[in-house]
Structure 1
Amino acid sequence: MHHIIYMSQATRAMTDDELATLLAQARHANEERGVTGLLVYGAQQFLQVMEGDEQVLGPLYEHIAKDSRHTGLIKMADKAVNQRSFADWSMAFQAVPAEQFASLAGYVSPENLRLQVPGLSGADALLLEMARQFVLPSTHDKSTKPS
């Protein structure tokens, strides 16, 4: 069993009808391929978990990467897992308000993620950015300095 987790930025705000169409297409294709997962949309951003055979997920991710409805894909994970987390869902879906999406623990929007260190995976870059938030001075508190 394998999973891929990625985040991306929608090229424009998606309507409820567009999201319903996307979801119907994904569910149908995933059922045929034995893929399960989760898609979250909010603040013009996507977060997706895909689970299945590695030989199926690789080409599926490449197909998704070419989709013109989003940009700035950041692969957070691409690895073997012991079991599915979303075994009962060909594609669970949740649209969330922008403020709720932004409040996800450790979330950094794709446009604010600084991938400055060559060779870092998306997950490593996100962890590095989260760590930076602990040591860099806040814009509200200029008295704090990293040592």
Structure 2
Amino acid sequence: MLSLTYFSTASSALGKDQLVGLLDHVRAKNDALGLTGMLLYSDGSFVQTLEGPDEAVEEAFGRIAVDPRHRDVFVALREAVTERAFPTWSMGFREISREESETLPGFNDYLQVRGPRREPGGSRAEAFHRAFREFTP
């Protein structure tokens, strides 16, 4: 199994409706491919970890790398893993309220909670997500 974490910049700012549409589209596609992970978006920046079968992760990232909604795409971490760090697909939104977020399928409190989500240390991918969460304005 492969875990791949990348950073990118949005070609143009995404609004709430666009992010909800992206969540709906990506969850269905990732479920079909056996992919899990975490996608965070804040103020024009993305950080995403994809986990799953090597070929499925590479194929999904290949589409992302040429997606016109992204620019300055770079891989921060690519590693073989035996266990998924993010066993469910979720997307973080900074633009909506906690009450609104609770009505979105697949959303969790990942951006609101500080510190490790499980045992101290966590996965290396989780370290990127914590840094993004803590240092994004």
Q: Summarize deviations over 1:110-141 as a string: whole Å, max 9, x none.
A: xxxxxxxxxxxxxxxxxxxxxxxxxxxxxxxx
Q: How many residues align?
A: 102
Pick the structure with greater CA Rg. 1
For 2:131, the equivalent position in structure 1 comes to 105
Please give the root-mean-square deviation of Cα atoms over the aligned residues, in Å.
2.0
For 2:35, the equivalent position in structure 1 comes to 35
Give the TM-score, by structure 2 length. Answer: 0.68
Identity of aligned residues (%): 29
For 2:76, the equivalent position in structure 1 comes to 76
Give the superposition deviation at 1:82.
Answer: 2.1
Report the Cα distance in structure 2 between the residues aligned to 1:2 and 1:27, rounded to whole angstroms.
18
Matches within 5 A, 1:50-65: 50-65=50-65
Report the Cα distance in structure 1 between the residues aligned to 2:59 and 2:12, rounded to whole angstroms.
25
**Per the alignment, in what secondary structure is the counterpart of residue 83 of structure 2?**
coil
Residue 92 in structure 1 maps to residue 90 in structure 2: yes
For 1:13, the equivalent position in structure 2 comes to 13
**Per the alignment, in what secondary structure is the counterpart of residue 85 of structure 2?**
coil
Spell out structure 1 runs of 4+ moving beyond 6 A.
Answer: 106-109
Give the superposition deviation at 1:12.
Answer: 1.0
User: Which amino acid is the alignment partner of residue 20 of structure 1?
Assistant: V
Q: Which runs of 5+ in 1 are unaligned?
A: 110-147
**Per the alignment, in what secondary structure is the counterpart of residue 14 of structure 1?**
coil
Give the superposition deviation at 1:105.
Answer: 3.1
**Per the alignment, in what secondary structure is the counterpart of residue 131 of structure 2?**
coil
**Per the alignment, in what secondary structure is the counterpart of residue 105 of structure 1?**
helix
Report the Cα distance in structure 1 between the residues aligned to 2:45 and 2:62, rounded to whole angstroms.
18
Q: Summarize deviations over 1:75-116 as a string: whole Å, max 9, x none.
A: 0111101200111x1x2111236xx8xxx538899xxxxxxx
Name the CA shift for 1:108/1:61 in 2 (closer, same or farther; >3 Å).
farther
Report the Cα distance in structure 2 between the residues aligned to 1:54 and 1:15, rounded to whole angstroms.
32
